[in-house]
Amino acid sequence: MLIKDKLKNKKPLISFEIFPPKKDYPVETIYNTIDALNDMKPDFISVTYGAGGSTKDTTVEIASFIKSKYNLSPLAHLTCLTSTKEEIEEILESLKASGVKNILALRGDHPQESTYKGPNHYKYAKDLIRQIRKRDEFCIGAACYPEKHLECKSLYKDLVHLKEKVDEGVDFLITQLFFDNEIFYRFKERADKLNINTPILAGILPVLNRNQIEKITSLTGCTLPKKFIRILEKYEHQPEALKEAGIAYAIEQIIDLLSWGIDGIHVYTMNRPKTTRRILESIRTIRGVLTNEKVS
Ligand code: FAD
């Protein structure tokens, strides 16, 4: 099913993000994770696309597996910086052949070496979206950044670029992770003012250890609220306590977003179904009340 149709029929959606196994591991090593995640009845599972297209084939293979084994909607991420238009067309063909109809269209991050290789390569996600939209057979998602994209000088400019991207035919947006819901609510108000009316799913990451947070803040530039920093400092040397507090923090964030009326929650699972289950169990009744569905 197309995610845009799901969004018309039911809100909030609950979705999970996974990443393919590293290059030297067989693709099957992810199947147990998917099995455990599928038990939690997500509305869809998204599969990331490795930097520079490094997991090109496995992303398609895993998305196809999700579709054929569970009849669950997969969302295949696709980046464009390092692929030619012809290569992108080939990937679109293999997604179509596998019955994968939802694509998260992204630019990707600049690798170390120079990337833009000429007119046969795209510079921005909106160019990729234009190419996908021409085929008129995919539901298209895109990324958005409540605290602006790291490369952009201001949130206003980033929102103008977001509007251009959405106008190319985006059906829904997923946010980069954030830890302060108020920042997201302000972002949503500013997006509304620019007539960015696309449904937005909030990307939530349960933080489980200190290293993870250092990496994330340097990659995304996201703000850490004081109460979050207090948790990090207090339990820095007690990994189990930090993990518990990180999960509780994510649950609190999700409950607030659901009460606010968010279109969907997208959990960055980091391929950890046990953590994801703890979150989902904590919101089981709320999820049931909001969607009018019995969730086991
Ligand atoms: P764009 O929307 O193209 O924006 C990139 C930058 O260009 C922004 O600063 C924007 O303001 C600017 N810009 C846009 N248009 C213009 C213009 N006309 N003139 C000047 N500047 C402009 N990366 C992966 O490699 N694989 C993944 O699977 C993956 N999944 C992701 C999932 C989510 C939910 C998110 C939020 C990010 C994901 N990323 C992934 C990371 C993403 O590829 C990077 O954040 C990348 O740097 C930007 O991608 P984008 O699609 O947002 O780019």
Closest ligand 1 atom to the C-alpha of 203? 34
Q: How far apart, in whole angstroms, are the C-alpha atoms of residue 133 and residue 108?
A: 19
Q: Ligand 1 centroid vs 110 CA: distance in angstroms?
A: 10
Q: Residue 210: its pLDDT value, please?
A: 87
- CA distances for 218 relative to 46, 110, 127, 150, 229, angstroms: 24, 15, 27, 10, 15
**Looking at 41-55, 140-154, 174-188, 253-267, which range is the least confident one?**
41-55
CATH number of 3-290: 3.20.20.220
Whole-prediction pTM:
0.96
Q: Which atom of ligand 1 lies closest to the CA of 150?
A: 9
φ, ψ at 172 (rounded to 5°): -160, 160
* Ligand 1 atom index nearest CA of 105: 51
Query: Is 220 touching ligand 1 by the criterion CB < 6 Å?
Result: no
pLDDT score for 115: 54
Is pLDDT of 26 > 90? no
Dump pLDDT digits (tens) for 260-276.
999 999 999 999 999 99
What is the percent of the chain with per-residue pLDDT over 90, rounded to a whole number? Answer: 82
Is pLDDT above 60 for 114?
no
Ligand 1 pocket, residue 125 CB under 6 Å: yes
The rounded radius of gyration (Å) of the Cα atoms in the chain is 18
In angstroms, what is the span from residue 111 Cα to ligand 1's centroid?
13
